[in-house]
Each structure stands twice: as C-alpha cells, then as structure tokens.
Structure 1
Amino acid sequence: MQSETMHAGGVLEADVDGTTGLTAELVAAVSAACDRAEEHQAAVVVLRIRGAADSAPLPDIALFTRWESVLRRLERVPAVSVAAMWGPCGGVALDAALVADYRIAHPTAELVPSVSSGDVWPGMALFRMGRLSQQAAVRRAVLFGEPVGVNDALAAGLVDQVAEDPDADAGRLHRRLTGTWGPDLAIRRDLLQGSATEFEGALGGHLAACDRLLRRRATSA
C-alpha cells in the first residue's frame, strides 16, 4: 500500500503495487489502514490495484506470516472493501484483491499467481482462489501458475464486474455502501466464507508449503 488518501464520507483510497515485493513497510501500511477502518475513520476502503513483478524475490516465512495475518485482519474489518483492478495483478496486488468484498476489473486486468523459477508460490491467494471457484481456469492457476484473464475471472466469480473506469465505478459503489459499516459486516463475511477453523487449518498448510519451498530453494542455491 504505497499511498493512501482519505476522502469525504469516510472513503479511504489506497494504492497497492504488485511490481514490488512484500516488505515490512507494506505490512505496516495495511495494518494502519485497518486501524482507521476499525476506528470508523473509514467506512469504505477502495484498493487501487495493479502490477505483477516478473521476478519478485520470495519473502521469508516470518514476513509472509505477518502479511497473511494483516490480510486476514483486512478481510474482517467493519468497513466495506472494494478492489479496483488494472492490468496484470500479481504478488501483493493479487493477495489484496482477493480479500476485498467487491472487485471491479478493467478489461486489461489479469490475475497472475506468483511463479519463481518454475515454482508456484503456495500462499493463501491459492486458497482464496480455490474457495471462490473450482472452474478450469482457476484450477490451472492454482496448480500451474497460469494467469486468469478478466473474462474467465468474471465467469469464475473472482471479479464482480468489468468496467472501463474502475475508479468511477468504485466511486458509485462506495456511495451506495457507506451505510453498511459495522461489526455485523464481519459476521456476514464469516457466514459466507464458512468456518474460521477452515481458514486457520488452511493457513497452517500453506505456511508449511511456503516454508518447504524456501528451504528447498536455499538448499539448491
């Protein structure tokens, strides 16, 4: 989350650039945005998402664990979250997009799993994609790291709408959703997503898979 802007009506806009790798600064920035949402300074969080790195370095497991923790927090804030997406979205951009309540994609948008030296990064983005859909394009993304084009993403339910101007559509949407702030929103998300135990169990498996990949990469270096 490289920059953020608070607008009238409690709308917090934040940029997430997937061309940069995961950093402690990004984790802190997302955590700060969660603070503002939880304190009702923001009723709607609009994430302006774009970018996928060609060869972003793999994060260490401790930083990745912190990142997944803050994403889970973002997933549970009492504010509505809207992702406005352009072009290839990978790495931290894909992670952030998949935790949003509503996703608006430009026709150029593409969901790009992180692949490094032929290895698909087994982070929680794969869990969230698989939970949202089991369509063929999603299975190929999870298993083989193939990007998901915007039409397949729309058909699979990974995005809610395609728009030529995601910013404008996000603006219209947040005017309709600003009255939905509150703890009941997080409860409804849990009902929609299923048991929190399912998530925690999946997180353990994904962390273990990420740790194995990092150890194997360190051994072969």
Structure 2
Amino acid sequence: MAAEIQPEHESLTLRIDGRHPLSPEVVAAVGAVCDSAEDRAGRTSVVVRVSGVPHASWSSDLTVSLVNKWERALRRLEGLPALTIAVADGACGGTALDALLATDYRIATESVRLVVPVESGATWPGMALYRLAGRAANATAVRRAVLYGTPVEAADALALHLVDELTDDVPGALARAVERTGAVSGTELAIRRQLMFDASVTSFEDALGVHLAACDRALRRSIAEVDA
C-alpha cells in the first residue's frame, strides 16, 4: 500500500493491495495522494493501481471509526480536482474494489474479477455496495455480487460500465486515457463530476440553478481568456 509522489509534470500513483486489511496506513496513503493532487491545483492525474482480495478474517481488527475514515478518504479521492484513473488486475476486493469504484476512468486486464468480500456469512456492507448499486442495481451480476459475494467477471464488468476498458496493453491504455481526458482539469472537472453525480437524485428544478451557475462561471472564464 503506497502513495508515490512524482515530479509535477507526471501523474501521481496510489497502489492499493486488497489482500491486506484496512489500516490507518492505507487511509494515510490515500490522504497523501489527495494532498499532492490538491496542491497541484488539478495539473496532474492520479493513477490508482488495484489488485488482490482480503484473506479470511480480514475484518477482525476493524472498527467503525476506521471504516468511517476510509470512506471519507475515498470520497475525497472521488471529488479531487484531478482526473483519477484506476488500473485493475486480477481479483479485486476489499480496499482494492472500494478504490476502483471511486475513480473516474477504470482500466482492467482481461483477468479482472470484482469481488465483494464475505465476512461471517454475509457480504461486507461498505460503500462499495452503494457504488455498485448506483451504477447497475438491476443487473443480475451486481445483485449476485451484493447479496451472495459472487464475483463479477471481466465481461460483465465491462458490459455494466463498472470498468471502462479491458486491455492487455495497460501502458498504452493508460497513456490514451490521460491524453483523451486531459482537456478538463482542476475545479471545473470536480464541478462537472459533481453535477453528474447529483443528476440521479436531484429534480430538474433544483438542478437548474446549480447548472446555470456553472454556465455563468464558464462564460466568465471564456471572456477572461479572450481579454488576456
């Protein structure tokens, strides 16, 4: 579990190994990457490399307080003023699945399997369930994963948009993703991401004012660029 802080012109890298139980060190690694991304004001991207599923009795030392800190760290990652790209390989569960689902663009190898961990005869009820259901609540593969812990295989993950791309050329896919999505960054990226998140739970009337405010900021920025 590590946060790698590269020079400013390069991406930041966060590695999450789902084999290891949640710990304060994992929370701190996510926080360190978020700190660096925010310091760069969006002039970077964050690559989150995930793999691994928890071992038996992985939750034996967990506390609700630690889980709360982890979920808040993921929410911060999810709202960064920077593009976040996940690279998933093999079976991904626990912290690896959590981090994967909190990113903007998700690249996976053909071997990927999304696994909701089972503890004491039931699936873990963390926010991964919330994110899975938010994307594909009615899909059979997601219902089986949430209720029974049945892994979501690569083809289903792609079809349900739980991952965006399956590839055997991860470096090439990563480079293309950074190039393709690099036009918008910083606060404006975070605003548009939040507008998208809110769309499914906000009425048109309530959303209109927020979207108009965003349009006004965009127009003011355009005028400022012309005058510069």
TM-score (structure 2 length as normaliser): 0.81
Given the alignment of the two structures, is residue 126 of structure 1 paired with residue 129 of structure 2, yes or no? yes
Output the CA distance in 2 between the equivalents of 1:56 and 1:92: 14
**Partner of residue 52, structure 1:** 53
**Partner of residue 113, structure 2:** 110
Instruction: State the superposition RMSD in angstroms.
Output: 1.9
Correspondences of 1:23-62 after superposition (within 5 Å): 23-40=23-40, 43-58=44-59, 59-62=62-65
Percent of aligned pairs sharing the same letter: 42
Aligned partners of 1:87 and 1:106 also within 8 Å: yes
The alignment covers a number of residue pairs equal to: 198
**Partner of residue 159, structure 2:** 155
Output the CA distance in 1 between the equivalents of 2:174 and 2:161: 18
The structure 2 residue matched to 1:168, chosen from 168, 172, 179, is: 172
Q: CA deviation at 1:9?
A: 2.5
Task: Indicate the larger mover: 151-160 or 174-183.
Answer: 174-183
Q: Tell me, which stretches of 5 or more residues in structure 2 are unaligned?
A: 203-228
Name the larger-Rg structure: 2
TM-score (structure 1 length as normaliser): 0.83
Aligned partners of 1:113 and 1:147 also within 8 Å: yes
Aligned partners of 2:20 and 2:55 also within 8 Å: no
Task: Indicate the larger mover: 64-73 or 6-15.
Answer: 6-15
1:7 and 1:133, CA in 2 relative to 1: closer, same or farther beyond 3 A?
farther
Task: Indicate the larger mover: 61-70 or 39-48.
Answer: 39-48
**Partner of residue 205, structure 1:** none
SS of the equivalent of 2:168 reads coil
Given the alignment of the two structures, is residue 71 of structure 1 paired with residue 74 of structure 2, yes or no? yes
